[in-house]
Amino acid sequence: MTTAKDLFAVLQRKAGFEAVSHTPSATRLRVMGRLPIDRAGMNMANWKVLMDRLFVAMERGRPWTVDISKMYFRKGGKLVYAWRLLFQGDNIEGHFKDIINVIQTSPGAARPEPEEVKLYGRQSNDTSGGKRGAQPVLSAVVGPMAAARKNMGG
Q: Which CATH number fits domain 4-104: 1.10.3470, 1.10.287, 3.30.70, 3.30.1360?
A: 3.30.1360
Nearest of 37, 40, 115, 27 to residue 83 by alpha carbon:
37
pLDDT on residue 146? 77
**pLDDT averaged over the chain?**
83
Q: How far apart are CA 87 and CA 68, in angstroms?
A: 9
pLDDT on residue 129? 47
Residue ranges, the chain, pLDDT below 50: 127-129
**Over the stretch 17-33, which tens digit does the pLDDT of each residue have?**
999 999 999 999 999 99
Q: How far apart are CA 17 and CA 8, in angstroms?
A: 8
Give Dmax (Cα) for the chain.
76
pLDDT on residue 136? 61
pLDDT on residue 66? 96
pLDDT on residue 45? 82
pLDDT on residue 114? 59
pLDDT on residue 145? 79
pLDDT on residue 148? 81
Report which DSSP code applies to 96. Answer: H
Q: How far apart are CA 32 and CA 44, in angstroms?
A: 16
Q: Residue type for 46, please? A: N
Put the strands of the sheet holding 65-75 in their side by side order.
18-24, 28-34, 78-88, 65-75
